Amino acid sequence: MFVKILPEEIRRKISAGEVIEGPSDVVKELVENSLDARATFIEVEIIRGGRSLIRVSDNGTGIHRDDIEKVFLEGATSKIGKEEDLLNISTYGFRGEALHAITSVSRTYIRSRYFQDKVGKEIFVEGGTLLRVRDRGMAYGTEVEVRDLFFNVPVRRKFLRKQETERGKILKIIKEYAMANPEIGFRLISEGREILYLKPAGAEERIGDICGYNFEYIEGSRGMMSINAYIARNTDRGELFVFINGRPVANRNIKEFLRKLIGYRACGIFFIDLPLYAVDVNVHPKKREVRIRREREVLSAIREIVNPQEPTFEEQILYQETPSYNTKLFEVLGTIDERIIIAIVDEFLYFFDQHLLSERINYEKLGYEEDEACRTSVKGGQVLSKKALEDLVRGWFDLENKHVCPHGRPIYYRIPIKEIYENLDRPYY
């Protein structure tokens, strides 16, 4: 019907790796499937942090009765068909991998009633083997019940995290998908008790329901990128959620950038929307990371929208104030690739471009022309003695223009040592 097995040449192009490493991965995959099936209500039930039972039920379109015996096979999907589809993925799923990975390491019931069928159908798969198929009366939608996760992989079972840890992760995952899908209702039941209930809501209300803070709302767009952000400053604990085209992502680079942008004690929720072709979701086996085309431009556009008063990176370098030093106290720590001199000056860690610094000194002190200064200066990649490095930094203190070389490129970049301490969570005195 709708589910096909992806041909080998497409499967080879799909980012491979472990999909299921613990109960929270199961929950993530099943919730994604329910969302892809256009459910409006999703219920998750777990017992012992998902170790004994994970049940996800939805009221989505259901699985066609001719398909249900196929869905747990490797590469079985209704979401993509040809290779080009990989460049335009609008669903959470596309690999035909999740149910296969889950059913291989558990005892799983998949029950579903397709929205045009009179009766539902159930299959039971144990350790990857289909053991039973039967008709079953049920409401429209799908219910996947995963029991005894890793019953056949003792090593994995032994190293499962503590129940509470896993329960916490599951809760977080549901909250993430709930933030990105506010119009969908969610319920989480743990050990028979409801621990989360989210009624269908508007975006802002949903975020309030989950995070409880008072958020400042920011929206804007540049070119093909648009962003909706919710920021609560000065919370007791900084938290960051990033969604790209509705998908929660953990890209380190992006998170680090946004964290810096809003501050470490803020709670920020960023919905970044880009055209499908500009986002490659097929780079990480668990889809936790995506690749964005022209990421730097996207990030700097986000900065402009979120902090319009803040100068751009280049401006920051040019205009950062350099105090006048009456003593030339500094310590050269070394170089990066014999190009960048690392030195501590005052309360800052400085990175000097050794060529540009030398060029500026020759230009100012010896009265050389730009080109002449350039030719006669120390080159990048040239090995210098400690003494020569120190002479360069000492020369920097006397410069008229400490910021840019004769051609206008920045000579140095610096970061407050305090910031390094803060980022490492250490007090700075």
Ligand X SMILES: Nc1ncnc2c1ncn2[C@@H]1O[C@H](COP(=O)(O)OP(=O)(O)OP(=O)(O)O)[C@@H](O)[C@H]1O
Measured over the CA atoms of residue 187, residue 190, residue 194 and residue 196, the dihedral's sign is negative
**Nearest CB to Mg ion, comparing residues 94 and 114:** 94
Among 26, 27, 46, 99, binds ligand X (CB under 6 A): 99
Each residue 49-68 as x (binds ligand X by CB under 6 A) or -, in order, gives: ---------x-xxxx-----
**Nearest CB to Mg ion, comparing residues 100 and 121:** 100
Residues numbered 402-421 forming contacts with Mg ion, rule: CB under 5 A: none
**Least distance in Å: CB of 323 to ligand X?**
55
**Nearest CB to ligand X, comparing residues 33 and 358:** 33
Among 106, 108, 142, 181, binds ligand X (CB under 6 A): 142
Among 60, 93, 120, 406, binds Mg ion (CB under 5 A): 93
The closest of 290, 22, 30 to 169, measured between CA atoms, is 22
Q: How far apart are CA 291 and CA 284, in angstroms?
A: 9
Contacts 24+ apart (CB under 8 A), 369-372: 370/406, 370/407
**Nearest CB to Mg ion, comparing residues 85 and 338:** 85
- What tokens were used for 137? 């009366």
**Nearest CB to ligand X, comparing residues 140 and 413:** 140
Confirm if 291 and 247 have CB atoms less than 8 A apart: no
Environment class of 315 (CB within 10 Å of its CB; exposed 0-12, middle 13-18, buried 19+): exposed
Q: How far apart are CA 234 and CA 249, in angstroms?
A: 24
**Least distance in Å: CB of 148 to ligand X?**
19
Closest residue to ligand X, judged by C-beta, is 93
Q: Do the bridges between strand 41-47 and strand 185-190 make them parallel or antiparallel, or are there none, so unpaired?
A: parallel
DSSP track, 89-134: --SS--SS-HHHHHHHTSEEEEEEE-TT-SSEEEEEEETTEEEEEE
Residues numbered 26-45 forming contacts with ligand X, rule: CB under 6 A: 29, 33-34, 37
**Least distance in Å: CB of 40 to ligand X?**
13
Among 68, 98, 262, 405, binds Mg ion (CB under 5 A): 98
Is residue 184 at the binding interface for ligand X, with CB under 6 A as the rule?
no
Environment class of 72 (CB within 10 Å of its CB; exposed 0-12, middle 13-18, buried 19+): buried
Binding segment (CB under 6 A) for ligand X, from list 95-103, 240-248, 266-274, 299-307: 95-103
Is residue 96 at the binding interface for ligand X, with CB under 6 A as the rule?
yes
Residues engaged in binding Mg ion (CB under 5 A) = 33, 93, 98
Residues engaged in binding ligand X (CB under 6 A) = 3, 29, 33-34, 37, 58, 60-63, 71, 76-79, 93-100, 142
